[in-house]
Structure 1
Amino acid sequence: MKETMKEVVITGPKQYEIREVPVPKPGDGEVLIQMKAAGVCGSDVHQFLGENPNAVFPRVPGHENAGVIVAVGKDVKNIKVGDHVVVDLVVACGECPQCKKGRRNVCRTVKARGSAIDGGWREYFAVPEHEVYLLPQDMPFKDAALIEPFAIGGHCTTRAGIQGGESVLVLGSGTIGAVILQTLKLKGCRVICADINDASLARAKEYGADAIVNTKTKSLKEAVQEFTDGAGVDVIFDSACYPGSLTAVLEMGIPANGATIVPMGFCTAQEGITQAMINTRELSIIGTRMSCNQFQPTIERFAKHEYQLDGMVSHYIPFSQVGQVFENIIHPPKDMKKMVIVFDEE
């Protein structure tokens, strides 16, 4: 194994460095991962652009991480050298009331890998054994890098109490919107997807959307009314997350009485919501953060090829050319959907 490695460090808004540092050694209970693929998430983009108010610099980004175990520390019991794994983005204490209730994603001291602590945009990194999940040996690493986003889809739809048969609006057809759509269709829902990008909407149609609407050319309310015969949708996922989007989806005629609304983002702009908008229809607004207990079922669904992965990623970037990731963030190519960093073979 090499003695040094390269890592990507965001040093400030729109600033990054490639550093040569020692390869870490796994501590007690830790495993050392050689990275093979890492997704580029919207949160990585916001962090680099300086749009994340909670960002702390310097920081190694990356929480959609897949790789192979190359060393294990003392007392590691269930993971061995050669295993293929993905890494949880949630770092939790395991002792607080939330953790003990099985809600480690809202641990009192929760840290998100790649944001609050260093992530996986580096050739090697060490993590506790309990924060990795085994992959089938034949699963491509470039696909495995998508497991974390799909785990979010599993979590947020669980938070919404999806049972199957609901009519659902997904606002925003980017990566997370496409993930939520696919998850909803697997659970037996009727789904209308809304966006302002025709290519994203066309992809949503390929992934099983029952209806699509470009809100540049048609009213969202009108489209929802047509889709539901005037009833409104049972559940709304706001994966567009722009200032005012939560207020927009609460417009009379979009949610049905008793509907559930799940905002996916962390926009800090104030919204124009009143108590009357919620209580006259007894709406439920449900928070969701990262994922919890969803990695294993998501891996199993990947192994069964239940999700459509073609078209999810538009750009695979070799780690040796990682600067292209930042160039694409600042000057997005017209056809860009999602980037995945593919680590170079030794």
Structure 2
Amino acid sequence: MMRAAVLRSPGQFEIEERPIPRPGPGEALIKIARVGICGTDLHIFNGHYAADSLPMVPGHEFTGTIEAVGTDLRGLQVGGKVVVDMNIGCGRCFWCRRNEILNCPEMQQMGITMDGAFAEYMLVPARLVISAPDDVPFEVLALTEPLACVVRAARKARVNFGQSAVVIGAGPIGNLHVQLLRTIGAAPVIVMDISAERVEMALDCGADIGVTDPAQLKQAVLMATDGRGADVVVESVGNPALYGAALRLMRKGGHLAAFGLTGPEDTLALPILDTILHENSVKGSVAGMGQDMNDALTLLVHGRIQTDPFTRASFPLQEIQQAFDSIGDRPDDLKTQIVMAA
């Protein structure tokens, strides 16, 4: 038997005993070691997202070891450390062939539309398992999935060295955007958040300029870009008003990376003529998949990301309710992880 944290209803976890599943053909059984709490998990916990999936075991930012594999599988070593791509597509359709799995008509996501990783063991498609080096700590490997989301956003935005970039929001994902933009070679990297503590952490992690007053952001951007505006603006909060502000921060010919999730009815008033005449662009992106996961893992393995701000807060599985309830009271913790096994 194993323990699993079931979200029975918004705001209410229950630890229950379940049989440990057995892998069939094409499947791998993962012994979960660490699981990060994502903003999406918080939306589910608060009843704002995926309510029709409850009761459910959430959790999709996870790492662990291979406990067992099904028949006829090669290349996966029992006991080896792994991370797992959470996005399950059919593998056959137009979108899957293009690695646009979120658009697959049969798409499922571990921990969002189906049971996820807040359990001691989890059964996953073996084709989505990625082997990881044994010498990389689990708390670092658990950052692979969120970093993969940021890798994909930068890839879609076609960020290049020497480009000016603004990141709106200095939470965990905003901080990763800052770090990846700096790694790519964007300069200057400007970050804005109303939390002075999180802006300071973003500056420590590589941002060049930090702004805590939204009213001062545009002037700061113009001063840093010779009055042009930013090459790339990343909205990482999910606020319609901030999306509108992001459009006004772009230079002519600039790019808006739409990343922060809004409500389903929220809209953005796009100045069509300016968009056409200035050759501006907007590109949405939210989840890393396929090669994004491999690239994120490579960056973590080779120390390109400062992970200390993300690994300070951890709770055992039996305290998952407390972990979720207290997140809003711990702004200095960029990430909270649930420890499943050593």
Structure 2 residue identity aligned to 1:183: L
Structure 2 residue identity aligned to 1:160: A
Q: By how many angstroms is 1:106 displaced? A: 3.0
Contact residue 61 and residue 114 of structure 1 kept, 8 A? yes
Match of 1:108 in 2: 105
Structure 1 residue identity aligned to 2:225: T
Contact residue 47 and residue 55 of structure 1 kept, 8 A? no
Q: By how many angstroms is 1:278 displaced? A: 2.7
Match of 1:219 in 2: 216
Match of 1:28 in 2: 25
| Partners of 2:50 and 2:31 in 1: CA distance | 31
Find the partner of 1:240 among 230, 237, 242: 237
TM-score (norm 2): 0.94
Structure 1 residues 53 and 272 mapped into 2: Cα distance closer, same or farther (>3 Å)? farther
Partner of 1:67, secondary structure, is: strand
Structure 1 residues 338 and 73 mapped into 2: Cα distance closer, same or farther (>3 Å)? same
Contact residue 159 and residue 184 of structure 2 kept, 8 A? yes
Q: By how many angstroms is 1:317 displaced? A: 1.0
Structure 2 residue identity aligned to 1:261: L
Trace 1:277-296 onto structure 2 (pairs within 5 A). 277-292=274-289, 293-296=291-294
| Partners of 2:52 and 2:242 in 1: CA distance | 23
Q: How many residues align?
A: 338
**Residues 196-235 of structure 1, C-alpha deviations (whole Å, 9 max, x = no match):** 111111111111111111125x421111111112010001
Structure 2 residue identity aligned to 1:225: L
Trace 1:321-340 onto structure 2 (pairs within 5 A). 321-329=319-327, 331-340=328-337
Structure 1 residues 335 and 57 mapped into 2: Cα distance closer, same or farther (>3 Å)? same
Match of 2:260 in 1: 265
Structure 1 residues 55 and 150 mapped into 2: Cα distance closer, same or farther (>3 Å)? farther
Partner of 1:286, secondary structure, is: strand
Q: By how many angstroms is 1:105 displaced? A: 3.8
Match of 1:184 in 2: 181
Contact residue 32 and residue 341 of structure 2 kept, 8 A? no
Structure 2 residue identity aligned to 1:255: M
| Partners of 1:301 and 1:83 in 2: CA distance | 19
| Partners of 1:42 and 1:28 in 2: CA distance | 33
| Partners of 1:336 and 1:312 in 2: CA distance | 7
Structure 1 residue identity aligned to 2:37: V
Find the partner of 1:76 among 65, 73, 78: 73
Find the partner of 1:312 among 302, 310, 315: 310
Find the partner of 1:8 among 5, 12, 15: 5
Q: By how many angstroms is 1:280 displaced? A: 4.2
| Partners of 2:110 and 2:275 in 1: CA distance | 34
Q: By how many angstroms is 1:114 displaced? A: 0.8
Contact residue 8 and residue 17 of structure 1 kept, 8 A? yes
| Partners of 1:280 and 1:215 in 2: CA distance | 31
Which of 334-343 and 135-144 deviates more? 334-343
Partner of 1:244, secondary structure, is: helix
Contact residue 319 and residue 344 of structure 1 kept, 8 A? no
In structure 1, runs of 5+ residues without a counterpart are: none
Q: By how many angstroms is 1:54 displaced? A: 6.2
**Residues 157-184 of structure 1, C-alpha deviations (whole Å, 9 max, x = no match):** 0000112111011110111111111111
Q: By how many angstroms is 1:118 displaced? A: 1.1
**Residues 17-38 of structure 1, C-alpha deviations (whole Å, 9 max, x = no match):** 1111101111111111111000
Q: By how many angstroms is 1:272 displaced? A: 3.5
**Residues 69-93 of structure 1, C-alpha deviations (whole Å, 9 max, x = no match):** 1111112111121111011111111
| Partners of 2:60 and 2:52 in 1: CA distance | 14
In structure 2, runs of 5+ residues without a counterpart are: none
| Partners of 2:306 and 2:98 in 1: CA distance | 33
Q: Which has the higher helix share?
A: 2
Q: Among the aligned pairs, what percent are the same residue?
A: 33
The answer to whether the aligner puts 1:165 opposite 2:183 as a matched pair is no
Contact residue 106 and residue 289 of structure 1 kept, 8 A? no
Contact residue 310 and residue 333 of structure 2 kept, 8 A? no
The answer to whether the aligner puts 1:131 opposite 2:122 as a matched pair is no
Between the two structures, name the one with larger relative contact order (CA 8 Å, sep ≥ 6): 2
Q: By how many angstroms is 1:113 displaced? A: 1.4
| Partners of 1:77 and 1:132 in 2: CA distance | 12
TM-score (norm 1): 0.93
Q: What's the C-alpha RMSD, in Å, of the aligned pairs? A: 1.6
